[in-house]
Amino acid sequence: EAQEETGWKLVHGDVFRPPTFSPMTLSVAVGTGIQIGVCSFAVLLCALLKLVNPMKKGQALSSIVFLYVLSGTVSGYCSARLFKFCDGTAWKHNTILTAVAFPGLLVGMFTVLNVFLSFVNAATAVSFWLVFAMFLLWVCVSTPLIFAGSYLGFRAEKTDVPTKTNQIARFIPEQPFYADVPFSCLFGGILPFGSVCIELFFIMSALWLHQYFYMMGFLMAVLFILVATCSRCRSL
């Protein structure tokens, strides 16, 4: 008597199928996310080990900028490995987009906000030379590191998968309304936010009251909870 396949047996021939819609965008997003995660973990670890003192003005922000720039190699490597796994060939476009997309957005937003602050003579406006220094860090340090990581990623062997992908994609049955994309995006954002909302309240309160935030050990634990929640939401 034939038994209906369920679980891993049901999807093992399709779970490693590369995406058909914009694998480059997925690779860039994954590489950028890993870079942000590595930078966040490194900054929290330095703060936990007392290597970064929040009492010293600008030390934490400088550490974030430099660690983010230095982790560009990880971003380029992971983006290249995933893009190669998806059978992508336009490695130059993938590398350039990884180096430009998110850092360019940050630099652009920072520059626009700084221009408005300069027009109103705000004390929080930074000088032109500081903006230029950030631009040089992006172009002369971060971008070459991303290209180096991408080069290593594309030179490495393609990731082997434990199962063979079926030539014909399996038919996906009609899903209930709560499994549609809008609801999945909604709950995929609510659950991770719920895991960090309490800690975020204390951080924002410290910022608004011009105080220092010292609970780095608890913040590190919350970061691990956030990673576990995001991975669980992804599996669902």
- Placement of tokens 């950030």 in the chain: 134
Taking the C-alpha atoms of residue 22 and residue 73, their distance in angstroms, rounded to an integer, is 23
Residue 103 burial (CB < 10 Å; 0-12/13-18/19+)?
A: buried
Q: How confident is the model at residue 2 (pLDDT cuts 50, 70, 90)?
A: very low
> What is the number of other CB atoms lying within 10 angstroms of the CB of residue 53?
12
For residue 120, what pLDDT is reported? Answer: 85
Kindly state the tokens that stand for 117: 């602050």
Q: Does residue 117 surpass a pLDDT of 60?
A: yes
Mean pLDDT is lowest, of 9-13, 108-112, 113-117, for 9-13
Q: pTM (2 decimals)? A: 0.81
Task: Evaluate if residue 32 carries a pLDDT over 90.
Answer: yes
The alpha carbon of residue 133 and the mean position of all alpha carbons in its chain are separated, in whole angstroms, by 24
Residue 47 has pLDDT above 80, yes or no: yes
